[in-house]
């Protein structure tokens, strides 16, 4: 599953790097660790939600690009994807930024959210796990 996510990210990088409108800027994409999030105690079937997701942008050359979202049964893997503008004078930052994840409850089971926390010493992804039950409307 993670290989699919990394393959998708690599393909996205390849497509963007092959642009005919080359302005001299090299852009790559990377996952950045999620530091905090807000989820309700329960979800309602059929409802739409907006979850605030906080993450740290490592440099001022990083910019929010979007969310990578992978689903496996009732588990949802959530990643924040940043664009990284390379070959520029970047300054390290510790700014915590916030983005909104739109989510619609389509299934009547407990959702297991796994928010990307970073990589461990073996370069394996680690997650913050949160379970949220679903109620009938």
The overall average pLDDT reported for the chain is: 87
pLDDT above 70 covers a percentage of the chain that reads 82
Q: Which residues of 36-46 are buried (b: 16+ CB within 10 A; e: fewer)?
A: ebebeeebeee
**CATH number, domain at 71?**
2.60.40
- Alpha-carbon distances of 37 from 4, 64, 107, 134, rounded to whole Å: 25, 16, 21, 18
- Domain assignment present for 25: no
Give the pLDDT of residue 7: 46
Name the domain count of the chain: 1
Strands 75-86 and 111-119: parallel
Task: Residue 118: give the domain boundaries.
Answer: 33-135
**What pLDDT digit, counting tens, does each position of 95-107 carry?**
899 999 999 999 9
**What pLDDT digit, counting tens, does each position of 24-63 carry?**
678 999 999 999 999 999 999 999 999 999 999 999 999 9
Question: Are the C-beta atoms of 39 and 111 separated by less than 8 Å?
Answer: no
């Amino acid at each position: 599953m993670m290989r699919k996510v990394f393959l998708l990210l690599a393909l996205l990088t390849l497509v963007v790097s092959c642009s005919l409108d080359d302005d001299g800027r090299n852009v790559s994409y990377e996952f950045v660790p999620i530091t905090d999030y807000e989820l309700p105690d329960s979800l309602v079937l059929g409802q739409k939600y907006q979850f605030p997701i906080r993450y740290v942008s490592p440099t001022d050359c990083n910019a929010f690009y979007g969310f990578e979202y992978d689903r496996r049964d009732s588990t949802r893997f959530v990643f924040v994807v940043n664009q990284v503008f390379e070959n520029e004078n970047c300054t390290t930052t510790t700014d915590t930024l916030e983005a909104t994840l739109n989510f619609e409850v389509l299934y009547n089971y407990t959702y297991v959210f796994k928010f990307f926390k970073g990589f461990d010493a073996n370069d394996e992804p680690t997650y913050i796990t949160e379970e949220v039950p679903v109620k009938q409307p």
